[in-house]
Amino acid sequence: MTIHREGYKSIAIAALIFMVINLVMFWALGTTMLWLCIAFFIITLGLVLFIVSFFRIPARKFTLGENQLICPADGKVVVIEEVFDEEYFKDKRLQVSVFMSPANVHVNRNPISGEVVYSQYHKGKYLVAWNPKSSTENERHSVVIRKGNQEILVKQIAGAVAKRIINYLEVGQKVQQAEEMGFIKFGSRVDLLLPLDTKLNVKLNEVVKGGVTVIGSLA
């Protein structure tokens, strides 16, 4: 397991605050309320370790397939439905949404190999990630990857807690399946907008892994 580069600053700040607060606690109360200092140390250490774990990148063997769509994020499938896309396609698409809790790995990965033909950041609200309106009203970053004559849209969506979306892709860039496309800090969701004839391999409420679980296959 390694630590994602997006976490270096957050972990350093958390560790510094942890050290300063605990030094002050032990200096001020160490002789009279040692038990409280120890309890506070354990609780704050747990918080620091949680922040470290949030930025983890576990070692994985990725699933790669020519016509397969690989899950872009860890989490749980919370939406499978037909929707009308107002942003890019201007027609009906099959939407698959993966909700990421703060405990999940938050690296986002390319579901297919291809060329980036659209990349757009949108300011917005911070509704809870499972709210259906979060797909169109929340802060989000949308990317379209073209493979042959097929295009899929991947949408990183901020939630009530997650308020920083990082996306590394640019229009014209060639990308490889399962490579990093971005990162969302502290819980949110990722939507996939797929062709209607996509053959799905996942079900509602299924737990999935980014870069590993096969979402479906392109026709």
Catalytic residues: 188
Closest CA to 105 of 212, 22, 195, 215: 212
| 205/216 Cα distance (integer angstroms) | 15
- Cα 140 from chain centre: 11
Give the sign of the dihedral formed by CA 142, CA 145, CA 150, CA 152.
Answer: negative
CA distances from 102 to 25, 51, 95, 129, 184 (A): 28, 9, 23, 12, 10
- Triad 60, 66, 68: Cα angle to 5°: 65
β-bridge mates for residue 174, sequence order:
115
